[in-house]
Amino acid sequence: MIFVTGGAGFIGSNFILDWLALADEPVLNLDKLTYAGNLNNLARLKDDPRHLFVQGDIGNRALVAQLLARHRPRALLHFAAESHVDRSIDAPGDFIATNINGTFALLEAARAYWQDLASAPKSAFRFLHVSTDEVYGTLGPADPAFTEHTAYAPNSPYAASKAASDHLVRACHHTYGLPTLTSNCSNNYGPYQFPEKLIPLMIANALAGKPLPLYGDGQQVRDWLYVGDHCAALRRILESGRPGQVYNVGGCNEMKNIDVIHTLCDLLDGAAPRAASYRSQIAHVADRAGHDRRYAVDSGKLQRELGWSPAESFGSGIANTVRWYLEHRAWAADIASGAYRHAGAAA
Ligand code: NAD
């Protein structure tokens, strides 16, 4: 069995769906079901005994210890987090509570469990911490991409809280020997992403005839990683990564925000045409405070050591994504109405 935290969120649910499509190893999924947790993402697993869902907080050390003792997982993949930069600017407290204190509680429970493993070799257990490229700060137009040796320089409360969690994970390996792995990935996109993030927000607003809010001049550059490629990278890191190591995961797709939005509008113009192009809904709004200008990720280490590279180009990934949102309007409508908060446990 593997233990996943935050498995009702965007990346965690994609990871679980892919995992159970590829293997028969069961998944224990601990998720608090914050506004970002959505059990509709896992509706396909409703009657699948391989998915065991538990609603709870990673900061509840006693609960995590109990789950570890009862289910004896061979690995823990830590996705749970407060993940939205804008929310971290408005209300950073939840980010400190979950991303820092919650990760610390999880590490303490995992360390105690690992230290008590009597029969199996201690290297049999692995703790994979899923983090972000935002810990590295911002790049100028000609700077080389972030490597695993780039100094940490987080600029938002979200990035700072993730940076702190990365340091706690690192310290837990160096001090106690817990077999940890850390991945720092770029912006993910794909099915089941909560419609507060750029791509699903733009699709939802476009279809609803609402403005498409573009921060500042729209020239901010992000590297876009298809969520299925990210999940494949995580499986590779989990199985073959070296304990204590950090692996950057990027999509090799640097794009300006304005170009991403134009691409979305053009795809929607083709798939769901209206009298006027969706581009006419673009509305410039004041830039986000402290907005990082450019992120770019060098995944060379992951490619060289573990043979992973992204399979999806931005062109095909974004076309698949737009098609998915058009075909799953009920999923988005449930979020818009709030009905998703009452989705039943999918186990
Ligand atoms: P998300 O916001 O969609 O999902 C987070 C999940 O964690 C939700 O299901 C939520 O209910 C759960 N959660 C929050 N607080 C919790 C707590 N205290 N205890 C238990 N569960 C809790 O996030 P995501 O986009 O799927 O991101 C997953 C991870 O990947 C995060 O750690 C994030 O920092 C990292 N990451 C995401 C991206 C991206 O583009 N989405 C990029 C880089 C890194």
Closest ligand 1 atom to residue 33 Cα is 11
Strand order in the sheet with 51-55: 51-55, 27-31, 2-5, 75-78, 126-132, 180-185, 246-249
> Would you say residue 183 lies in a domain?
yes
Kindly state whether residue 347 falls inside one of the protein's structural domains. no
Residue bearing tokens 């990346």: 11
Task: Note the pTM of the prediction, 2 decimals.
Answer: 0.97
**Cα torsion 42, 47, 51, 57: sign:** positive
Indicate the number of domains in the chain.
1
State the catalytic residue, choosing from 133, 223, 229, 298: 133
**Minimal-distance CA residue to ligand 1 atom 28:** 79
CB 110 within 8 A of CB 76: yes
Rounded CA gap, 257 and 214, in Å? 8
Q: Is the CB of 13 under 6 A from ligand 1?
A: no
Q: Is residue 110 part of a domain?
A: yes
Range of the domain at 22: 2-287+294-342
Instruction: Say if ligand 1 is within 6 A of residue 185 CB.
Output: yes
Per-residue model confidence as pLDDT tens digits over 286-314: 988 888 999 999 999 999 999 999 999 99
User: What ipTM was estimated for this complex?
Assistant: 0.99
Top mutation candidate among 60, 83, 131, 229 for ligand 1, by most atoms within 8 Å of CB? 83
Summarised one tens digit per residue, pLDDT across range 98-156 is: 999 999 999 999 999 999 986 666 668 999 999 999 999 999 999 999 999 999 999 99
In a domain, 71, yes or no: yes
Domain-located, residue 314: yes
- Does any domain span residue 261? yes
| CATH number, domain with residue 306 | 3.40.50.720
